Homo-oligomer: A and B are copies of this chain.
Amino acid sequence: MAFSERVDRLKSSLIREILAAAQRPDVMSFAGGLPAESMLPKVDWAPMPTGLGQYGMSEGEPALREAIAVQARALGIDCSASQVLIVSGSQQTLDLASKLFIDRGTEVLLEAPTYLAALQAFQLFGAECLAVAQEDDGPSLAALRERLERHRPAFAYLIPTFQNPSAVRYSEYKRDAVAALLDEFGVTLIEDEPYRELVFDEGSARPIVSRLQKASWIYTGTVSKTLLPGLRVGYLIATPDLFPYLLRLKQSADLHTNRIGQWQALQWLGSEQYSTHLDALRCFYRQGRDAMQSALQLHFSDLADWQSPQGGLFFWLRLKKPVDTRALLDQALAQNVVFMPGEPFFVDPDQNLGYLRLNFSHVAPDRLAEGVRRLAGVIRNASMVEAA
């Protein structure tokens, strides 16, 4: 069978295997990134008009595009509804952007670590990925400037607010500095913000795209983390030089996003009901974050360093004695606990050993401490074996 050369770059199914193992009812999973089942809002479908069953526009529903533009302008993003494209979950933005920009060997710039599925999507299309080290308050500016001076990336893909996996939130200073650098070098920004609304503590958040003066940009968001991921409704907003291409690529990919989910999203966006739901969600996840922080302080203080996340769904641990955490999965599973190894979130996994991503939204708070204790045991054991 002669496949495309692209297929050689389809990644192994490690993540799929981990998530499959996480489905076992006896397993405590810190691996996934699923919203808490108990916090999925009850939605009403009864008032939906039958006509929404018909084919729709590739751009998306006009009223939803308008609602998203209103929300974006409130964040400081200068845009109109004509720049909004509804997508089938924000993963599709990565697919469309890949098609728009990436040939084999095209350079793109990413944070290290970065969102795994973005890395895989860009690599599938043949991108040469340049990594910029993530610090506690955003990317290393020196490293970013050095990359921009020596390379001509087609775009920079950044997740400035509660990044998956590192949970980093860029500071106000770094948001401005990154915008200035991208303007200086004329590099397009793709800013990915799935976790913006899952915020637990005050802090800087105005999007970087709103700080750009010259560079082109794509801003992408979703209702998956705050409403219902099963709707598969996300959106992108793009500068007018990019929009027409993204629209035609969207049409070629799947004609348009399902209108049922778009209609439901529209019932919520900007409503009082949504605002109440978001408050409840933040409160619920904050408790999970606090429970995880306590458990980690108890069991991991001698094993790892971490920042307590100000938003999002993940803790990111750096082991004091780095080991390849991928090799610990089987031992963890033997203890009925599963986590996400950090290595695959890097362009060069083997040069970045000793990170773990732990989700705190799935395991019930009363079992969470026990899971963390078992996981600490696995890692302590591995460190001792290593040392022996």
Taking Cβ atoms with an 8 Å cutoff, the residues of A that contact B are: 1-7, 10-11, 13, 16, 34-35, 37, 40-43, 45-46, 48, 50-56, 87-89, 91-92, 95, 99-103, 106, 117, 120-121, 124-125, 152, 154, 188, 216, 224, 227-233, 241-242, 245, 248-249, 251-261, 264
Contact = CB atoms under 8 A, between A and B. Distances in A.
7 contacts: A2-B154, A4-B106, A7-B245, A37-B54, A42-B50, A43-B50, A121-B252
The number of times this chain is found in the oligomer is: 2
B260 A258 contact: yes
A225 to B, nearest CB: 10
B13 A248 contact: yes
Given A4-B101, A254-B95, A40 B53 contact: yes
5 A-B pairs with the lowest CB-CB distances in the bound complex, closest first: A45-B45, A53-B228, A230-B259, A232-B258, A88-B254
A40 B45 contact: no
Contacts of A264: 260
Contacts of A102: 4
B5 A103 contact: yes
Most chain B CB neighbours (cut-off 10 Å) among A13, A259, A260: A260
A42 B53 CA distance: 9
B124 A252 contact: yes
B56 A10 contact: no
A238 B221 CA distance: 33
A52 B10 contact: no
A252 B231 CA distance: 17
A253 B92 contact: yes
B252 A254 contact: no
Nearest to A121: B252
Contact of A188 (B1, B7, B41, B120): B1
B231 A53 contact: yes
Given A10-B245, A216-B1, A95 B232 contact: no
A123 to B, nearest CB: 10
Contacts of A230: 52-56, 258-260
Given A4-B103, A88-B88, A50 B54 contact: no
A386 to B, nearest CB: 33
A194 to B, nearest CB: 12
Nearest to A257: B232
Contacts of A51: 37, 40
A21 to B, nearest CB: 14
Nearest to A52: B230
Given A1-B216, A43-B53, A53-B228, 19 more contacts: A1-B188, A2-B101, A4-B125, A10-B245, A10-B249, A11-B248, A34-B54, A40-B53, A42-B50, A45-B46, A52-B230, A53-B227, A55-B224, A87-B254, A91-B252, A91-B254, A124-B252, A230-B260, A232-B255
